[in-house]
């Protein structure tokens, strides 16, 4: 009987598997971004402080011209699990920005130097102004490292639960930043737009933002587009998920505790149920406590 | 729980309370002395797991509501505030969001267990129907909860689902206006969804109370599907079921913690980290994973009203399941044909879920139709017919007999192997 079930199940699974491959044509034309090695991947993954600082530099000198980071405050840069700047550095950094505050006692808005509690000021006063300057408003980058993905497809999305692969967005962002290539001959790129190998539909409004040597690093990291892309992606991942290190650390503690607790409960359960699960001894009128397992 | 409680409190204060409100004997008879079949397997622990999940969702939800702002221009920001600035806000919010998925994983296992072992059959029809009502309330709650962060998928999911009601003849448009509180998904929609999202869990808790009451009145079904006949067939709830339920719940918590701490966004959708924008439609609007089979059924029917009817029919058919299954035998263990059809049905549901996540085009549509037809065929044709054509295996005389018989058989095989 069980063989027949297995056969029926197998047939059903085979049928569904063969059908998964058939409509591959329906998928979007963009190629899947390659998997990159990220320090923050996996159960014990954390951020590389130096990389976050380099990434922040790339954001500040390049991306911030058009893209906001409005959900991140200056003080976050000095918090645990982040780029690890000192409070003094953050104070000095914040003071370099002009923040519009008010209205003051005279009823007028005024500009003042930034404080650590301020959030990064947006490059444009509103979305319409950003759209007017670029044709389309450049997205805010605070959450971009969680707000992009690509389809993993069956069976990969099942394996992802076990391998904890969840870096679709960082992989995509990195691929996009290094994905400015010459368009294929038969591909027509509209006026004012650009070709990108990884952008859905390949036509992207943003021009290639990075070039080799554009940002001067304070450490020995190579000044290449690939390295810039990698670093700024890591920074954006932190910006989107600033408590990630704490989350993974706590997760490890919680799971270790739960496994230990479950083990104790398992043996407790076994002991309590022992008498019930030895029904033969009971049926024969023997004292179950006197017989061994 | 039938019959008068034998519980006699000893402490004078307990006796005093007991004479005025017999709450202690109620607790004792339903959580301590309540007889449970001795042969329950671990699939019977999901009731306890679901109760635990309901408590988790209500507790985390109440805390989140203290920080959340139900306004279209503030909702998304307030959720991000919770994630970034509220102490352990990320933990509470990920717990609540992943908890919803865990709730559905547990409820689906619970329901399929009920179907496999025929737990809906006489005298447990009302128990089953109450369960289906809880399932419906859960779906409504989860749907409205997903709208609250006011991301792209929140907004467009709400737009698609509320629009379904417009297919209802005559009153459809009015219902949609009432749901929206206006003429599009907007601030009034978000406000009433928040209000209802806070209300419905307490209604769930109420129906759960009825569900447990009905359960304790008729007693639990069991893997053998025969009623307990003597004291040998049952064990008291405490400590036997209690320790087993706690152990299973802790195991489930490990599974929950894996998602919560390591892949908290796996079960969500990336588009919901983009603030809602009524002017930009996402490429694919997909509901949460637990609605996907029903979403596939909805899209399988080429007609809007037909699709809506099929989708609600897919749930409505569960209400009459006790009368569609004509077999007198409960457990699939003794129903060789049903057991196979059960697994085909289960696979069919999983395939429907997968199809719900795919765009409605090409082969997917055809496959969705085949699976939708099979879904209804299972309930409306296969189950009624099986009861007449299937020859069930002989049932054990009692639960103790089924347990002892199995053990005796296993021992016999073991000794035979040892001899050979």
Instruction: Residue A192: name the closest of A179, A181, A206, A177 by CA.
Output: A206
Q: Tell me the pTM.
A: 0.91
Which chain A residue's Cα is nearest to B263? A164
pLDDT at B183 over 50: yes
Q: Which residues pair with A107 in a beta bridge?
A: none
Cα(A180)–Cα(B317) distance, integer angstroms: 54
How crowded is residue B310: how many other Cβ atoms within 10 Å of its Cβ? 20
Contact B84 A76 (CB under 8 A): yes
Kindly list the residues from chain A whose CB atom is less than 8 angstroms away from the CB atom of residue B351: 12, 16
pLDDT at B360 over 90: no
Q: What percent of chain B has pLDDT over 90?
A: 90
Q: Give the pLDDT score at A281.
A: 61
Contact B363 A273 (CB under 8 A): no
- B343-356 pLDDT, tens per residue? 999 999 999 999 99
Q: Give the pLDDT score at A154.
A: 83
Q: What is the ipTM of this complex?
A: 0.92
Contact B400 A268 (CB under 8 A): no
Provide the token pair at B161.
């689902």
Model confidence at A282, pLDDT cuts 50, 70, 90, reads low
Å between B364 CA and nearest CA of chain A = 8
| Terminal Cα distance for chain A, rounded | 32
| Interface test mutation site (partner B, options A27, A70, A71, A145, max chain B beta carbons within 10 A) | A71
How crowded is residue A66: how many other Cβ atoms within 10 Å of its Cβ? 17
- The residues near B51 (Cβ < 8 Å, ≥ 6 apart) are B208
Contact by Cβ (8 Å): A206, A29: no
Which chain A residue's Cα is nearest to B408? A280
Handedness of CA A272, A275, A276, A277 (dihedral sign): positive
Provide the token pair at B220.
């639990």
Contact by Cβ (8 Å): B402, B225: no
Kindly list the residues from chain B whose CB atom is less than 8 angstroms away from the CB atom of residue A23: 358, 362-364
Strand ranges (E), B98-187: none
Å between A216 CA and nearest CA of chain B = 31
DSSP conformational letter for B37: E
Distance set, CA B89 to CA A290, B81, B142 (Å): 54, 8, 20
Kindly list the residues from chain A whose CB atom is less than 8 angstroms away from the CB atom of residue B283: 28, 200
Strand ranges (E), B105-252: 234-236
Reduced to 3 states (helix: H, G, I; strand: E, B; else coil), residue A73 is strand
| Interface test mutation site (partner A, options B77, B228, B262, B414, max chain A beta carbons within 10 A) | B262
Instruction: Residue B277: name the closest of B146, B193, B144, B159 by CA.
Output: B159
Å between B117 CA and nearest CA of chain A = 17
Model confidence at B401, pLDDT cuts 50, 70, 90, reads confident
Cα(A19)–Cα(A144) distance, integer angstroms: 33
- B380-395 pLDDT, tens per residue? 999 999 999 999 999 9
Contact by Cβ (8 Å): B118, B330: yes
pLDDT at A29 over 60: no
Å between A265 CA and nearest CA of chain B = 5
Give A178-227 as a DSSP string.
Answer: T---PPPTTPPPPTT-EE-SSSTTSEESS-----TTSS--SSS---SHHH
Instruction: Residue A25: name the closest of B128, B359, B279, B397 by CA.
Output: B359
The residue to which tokens 């993954």 are assigned: A45
Provide the token pair at B274.
């983009």
Distance set, CA B308 to CA B168, B184, B373 (Å): 8, 20, 15
Q: Give the pLDDT score at A3.
A: 46
Contact by Cβ (8 Å): A269, B248: no
| Terminal Cα distance for chain B, rounded | 49
**What average pLDDT does range A5-28 have in this prediction?**
40
pLDDT at A54 over 80: yes
Cα(B192)–Cα(B362) distance, integer angstroms: 38
């Amino acid at each position: 009987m069980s063989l027949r079930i297995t056969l029926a199940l197998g047939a059903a699974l085979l049928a569904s598997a063969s059908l998964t491959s058939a409509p591959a044509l329906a998928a979007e034309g963009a190629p899947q971004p390659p998997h990159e090695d990220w320090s923050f991947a996996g159960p014990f993954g954390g951020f590389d402080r130096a990389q976050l600082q380099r990434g922040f530099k790339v954001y500040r000198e390049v991306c911030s011209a058009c893209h906001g980071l409005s959900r991140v405050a200056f003080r976050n840069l000095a918090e645990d699990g982040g780029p690890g700047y000192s409070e003094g550095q953050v104070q000095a950094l914040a003071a370099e920005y002009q923040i519009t505050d008010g209205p003051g006692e005279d009823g007028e808005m005024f500009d003042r130097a930034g404080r650590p509690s301020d959030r990064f000021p947006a490059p444009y006063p509103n979305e319409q102004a950003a759209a007017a300057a670029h044709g389309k408003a450049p997205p805010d980058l605070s959450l971009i490292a969680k707000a992009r993905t690509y389809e993993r497809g069956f069976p990969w999305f099942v394996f992802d639960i076990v391998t904890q692969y969840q870096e679709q967005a960082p992989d995509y962002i990195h691929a996009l930043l290094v994905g400015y290539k010459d368009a294929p001959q038969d591909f027509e790129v509209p006026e004012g737009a650009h070709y990108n190998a990884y952008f859905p539909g390949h036509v992207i409004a943003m021009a290639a933002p990075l070039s080799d040597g554009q940002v001067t690093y304070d450490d020995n990291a190579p000044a290449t587009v690939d390295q810039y892309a990698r670093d700024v992606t890591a920074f954006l991942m932190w910006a989107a998920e600033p408590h990630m290190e704490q989350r993974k650390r706590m997760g490890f503690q919680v799971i270790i505790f739960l496994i230990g607790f479950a083990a104790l409960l398992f043996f407790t359960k076994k002991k309590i149920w022992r008498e019930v699960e030895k029904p033969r001894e009971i049926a024969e009128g023997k004292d179950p406590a006197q017989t061994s397992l | 729980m039938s019959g008068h409680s034998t519980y006699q409190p000893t402490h004078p204060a307990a006796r005093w309370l007991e004479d005025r409100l017999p709450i202690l004997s109620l607790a004792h008879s339903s959580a301590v002395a309540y007889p449970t079949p001795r042969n329950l397997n671990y699939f019977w622990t999901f009731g306890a797991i679901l109760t635990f999940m309901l408590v988790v969702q209500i507790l985390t939800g109440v805390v989140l509501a203290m920080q959340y702002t139900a306004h279209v221009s503030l909702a998304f920001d307030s959720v991000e505030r919770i994630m970034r600035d509220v102490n352990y806000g990320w933990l509470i919010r990920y717990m609540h969001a992943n908890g919803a998925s865990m709730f559905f994983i547990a409820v689906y296992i619970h329901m399929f267990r009920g179907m496999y072992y025929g737990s809906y059959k006489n005298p447990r029809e009302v128990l089953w129907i109450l369960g289906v009502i809880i399932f419906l309330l859960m779906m409504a709650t989860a749907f409205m909860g997903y709208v609250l962060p006011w991301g792209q998928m929140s907004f467009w999911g709400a737009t698609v689902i509320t629009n379904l009601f417009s297919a209802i003849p005559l009153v459809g448009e009015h219902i949609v206006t009432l749901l929206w509180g206006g003429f599009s998904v907007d601030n009034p929609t978000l406000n009433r969804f928040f209000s209802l999202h806070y209300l419905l869990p307490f209604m769930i808790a109420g129906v759960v109370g009825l569900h447990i009451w009905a359960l304790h009145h008729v007693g639990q079904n069991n893997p053998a599907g025969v009623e307990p006949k003597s004291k040998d067939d049952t064990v008291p709830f405490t400590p036997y079921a209690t320790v087993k339920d706690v152990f299973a719940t802790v195991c489930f918590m490990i599974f929950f913690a894996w998602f919560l701490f390591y892949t908290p966004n796996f079960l969500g959708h990336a588009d919901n980290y983009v603030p809602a924008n009524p002017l930009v439609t996402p490429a694919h609007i997909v509901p949460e994973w637990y609605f996907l089979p029903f979403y596939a059924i909805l899209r399988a029917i080429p007609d809007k009203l037909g699709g809506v009817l099929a989708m609600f029919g897919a749930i409505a058919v569960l209400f009459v399941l006790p009368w569609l299954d004509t077999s007198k035998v409960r457990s699939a263990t003794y129903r060789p044909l049903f057991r196979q059809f059960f697994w085909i049905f289960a696979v069919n549901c999983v395939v429907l879920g997968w199809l719900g996540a795919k765009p409605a085009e090409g082969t997917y549509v055809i496959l969705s139709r085949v699976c939708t037809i099979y879904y209804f065929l299972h309930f409306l044709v296969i189950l009624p017919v099986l009861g007449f054509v299937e020859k069930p295996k002989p049932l054990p005389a009692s639960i103790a007999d089924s347990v002892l018989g199995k053990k005796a058989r296993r021992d016999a095989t073991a000794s035979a192997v040892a001899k050979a």
